Structure 1
C-alpha cells in the first residue's frame, strides 16, 4: 500500500468514526427496570394518598372521630402537596432527580409509620400532611423523569408505564388494604406501606439512572409557564376533573353503604381498578396520536358514570357497571393530563408540571371538603349529581382547547 493510499484509508476511517460518533443513538427499547421503579414509586404515592378510603370505619373508631372527619386525612394530605409542590419544586430544581426521589420515598416511610402507630387525631393529621409534602416532591418530578429517559416518540408510552402505579394502587392496593384492614387492623396496611417505601428506596438506588437538576441559568420563574399557550386550559381541566373524581372516590364507602352495598366496597373498587388498568394500557398504546379524543372519551365516560349512579344506585348490577365505566374513563387521565401539560409547557414543562401537581392536589383537598359538605347536608344521593356538574364543564374546556392544550394533532 502506497503512502497516499495509507493516508486516504486513514482519512476514510477517521471520517467514518466521526460520522458514527455524531450519529444519534436510536433507542427503540424502553428502559423497563427504571420505568417500573418509577411506577412503584407512583404506586406508593397513590396508595398512601387513598388508603384511608378503604379503612375509613376502623380508622374513624380508633381515632375517636366521625367518618367525615377521618375523610379529611385525604384532604390534609392533598393540602400538604398543594401548599408545597411549587415552592419545593423551585427550591430543589438544582437537585439531582434521583436524590430528590429518594428523599420523597424516605418521607413516605416516616409518615406512614407515624400514621400506623398513632391513636391521636392531630398527630395523624400532621403525619398525613408530611406525606403530602413528600408527594409534592414526587409528583412534580415523576412524569418528567420518565419523559427524560426515552426519546420523544416513546415519551407518552414511558409516562403511561410510570403512571400505571396509580391504577395498580386502586385496583390491587386499595382492595388489599381494605381487606387487611377489615381482617386484621387498619394499621397493618400503613405499616406495609412503610416496608414498601423502604423497598422502593433500595430499588431506585440500584436501577434508576440519575438525571441532573437545572442549573441556575436554566431556571425561570414558575409563573412564566402560565403565559405559554395551552397550559391554562390543561390546568383548568385538571382542577375540574380531579375535583369531580375525588368527591365520589373519597366517599365511595358511605355511598355504597347507603345503597345497601356496604360490604362490597372492596369488590366495587376492584372492578374500578381493573378497568383503570385496561384504560391506562389503551391510553399508553394510543396517546402519541390520539391525546385529544382519548381525553374527550375519558370525560364522557366519567359523566355517564355519574348519571348511572345518580339514577341507579339501588341496583347492584348498575353500580358495578358504573364502576367499570368509571375505571375506563379515569384510568388514563393522569397520563393524558401530564402529557398534555408537558407538551403545552415546552421549555417550561417542569414549571407546568409543578402547577398541575399543585392544582391536582388542591382539587383533591377540595374534593374531600366539598364531598364532606355534600354528604353531611344533602346526603349520598347528591354526590353523583355534584360529579356531573363538574365533569361537564371539564369536557367543554377540552373541546374548546382545540388549538392549544388538547390539539387535534399532537406535535
Structure 2
C-alpha cells in the first residue's frame, strides 16, 4: 500500500541519516587534522584556472559528461525507439558490468597510458554514437554499443581527475578538484536539459548526432592538449 511504502522510505531515510552521523563522528575521531597551506603558498582559483592545460581538460570534462548524460538520462525513450523498452534493466546491467571492466583497465594502465586511454575512450564513444545513429534497430548492435559505452566510461572520472592533478601539481590540486566536481555536476544538469529539448523537438534518434558532435569536440580538444593537458607518458 501507499502508506506501507511511505513508512518503508521513512525507515531508509532515518537509517541513512544515522549512518551519516556515525560517519561524521568517525571522521572527527580518526582522520588526522593536517595543517593547511601557509599564506605564501596559497594560490587563487583564477591562478588554477589559468594554469596551462586546465581549461582544455575541463572542456573535455564538460563535453564528455554532457554527451554521456544526454544518453544515460534518457536511455528509456532511446531504447523504446529500438523496441527494447522492456530490456532497459538488462542493458543497464551490461553497461555497469563493462564500466567495472573499464575501471579495472584504467587502474592498470593509467600511469603509462593516460593520454592514450582518454583518446581511445573518446574515440570509442564517438564510434558508438555513429553506429547507434545508423543501426540502432538491431538488437545486437545496441547491446554491443552499450557494452563499449560502459567500457569507455568506466575509467573516465579517474582519467580526468588524474590529468587535472598532473597539470596543477600539489599546490593547485585541492582547488581544481572542487572545480572539476562543479563542471561535472553542471554537465549532468545540462545533459538533462539538452536531452529533454532534443527529445521533444526531434525525438530520441537525435541523441546520437548530438553525442557525436560533443564527443568529437572533446576528442579534438584532448588531442590538441598534448603539451600540458593530456601529456604523453615519458616512456613514449
Contact 1:254 1:380 in 2 (8 A): yes
Partner of 1:336: 159
Distance 1:290 1:188, change over 3 A: farther
Contact 1:291 1:410 in 2 (8 A): no
1:160-209 CA-to-partner distances (Å, cap 9, x unmatched) read xxxxxxxxxxxxxxxxxxxxxxxx97996897576456436536727963
Q: Give the SS at the match of 2:83.
A: coil
Partner of 1:55: none
* 1:350 maps onto 2:170 in alignment: no
* 1:199 maps onto 2:19 in alignment: yes
* 1:374 maps onto 2:194 in alignment: no
Q: Of 293, 298, 311, which residue of structure 1 is paired with 2:134? A: 311
Instruction: Work out which structure has the larger RCO, using CA pairs closer than 8 Å and 6 or more positions apart in sequence.
Output: 2
Q: Of 207, 212, 224, which residue of structure 1 is paired with 2:34? A: 212
Partner of 1:295: 118
Distance in 2 (CA, whole Å) between partners of 1:400 and 1:354 is: 25
Distance in 1 (CA, whole Å) between partners of 2:163 and 2:189 is: 23
Distance 1:327 1:191, change over 3 A: farther
Alignment RMSD (CA, Å)? 2.8
- TM-score (norm: length of structure 2): 0.87
Structure 1 unaligned residues grouped into runs of 5+: 1-61, 63-116, 118-183
Distance in 2 (CA, whole Å) between partners of 1:284 and 1:398 is: 20
Partner of 1:13: none
Largest Rg, 1 or 2: 1
Partner of 2:189: 365
1:125-156 CA-to-partner distances (Å, cap 9, x unmatched) read xxxxxxxxxxxxxxxxxxxxxxxxxxxxxxxx
CA shift for structure 1 position 258: 2.4
* 1:284 maps onto 2:107 in alignment: yes
Distance in 1 (CA, whole Å) between partners of 2:135 and 2:13 is: 36
CA shift for structure 1 position 233: 1.1
Distance 1:222 1:240, change over 3 A: same
Alignment of 1:169-184 (within 5 A): none
Aligned pair count reads 230
Distance in 2 (CA, whole Å) between partners of 1:186 and 1:388 is: 42
Q: Of 186, 211, 216, which residue of structure 2 is paired with 1:387? A: 211
Distance in 1 (CA, whole Å) between partners of 2:35 and 2:78 is: 44
Structure 2 unaligned residues grouped into runs of 5+: none
1:197-248 CA-to-partner distances (Å, cap 9, x unmatched) read 6436536727963453634625432121012111111111111101100111
Distance 1:280 1:197, change over 3 A: farther
1:343-383 CA-to-partner distances (Å, cap 9, x unmatched) read 11111111111211111111111111111000010001101
Distance 1:352 1:279, change over 3 A: same
Distance 1:377 1:224, change over 3 A: same
- TM-score (norm: length of structure 1): 0.51
Distance in 2 (CA, whole Å) between partners of 1:313 and 1:261 is: 10
Distance in 1 (CA, whole Å) between partners of 2:30 and 2:20 is: 11
Q: Give the SS at the match of 1:212.
A: coil
